[in-house]
Amino acid sequence: MENEELANRLKQCRTERGLTQNEVAIFCDITEKAYQNYERNRREPKLSILVRIADFYGVSLDYLVGRTDQKC
């Protein structure tokens, strides 16, 4: 799996908002371990989960995966 940009942006969005991994996981209805794996680039989220994460952070999917530097 080679999506280091997704992992970096997930962590960046979370830390900018002062959130814990568990808080994001609860909103997205996933386990904290699953979210940790996304931030560590060990696993990639399903599209439906990625959409929930993007909605939670108020950013576009393209931003999360590194296709653009514009958040919205």
Domain edges within the chain: 4-64
Residue 2: the pLDDT is 57
The class of domain 4-64 in CATH terms is mainly alpha
Task: Count other Cβ atoms within 10 Å, centred on residue 35.
Answer: 25
pLDDT in tens, the chain (72 residues): 458 999 999 999 999 999 999 999 999 999 999 999 999 999 999 999 999 999 999 999 999 999 999 998
The reported pTM is 0.91
Angle between helices 32-39 and 21-28 in degrees, nearest 10: 110
CA-CA-CA-CA torsion sign (13, 18, 22, 27): negative
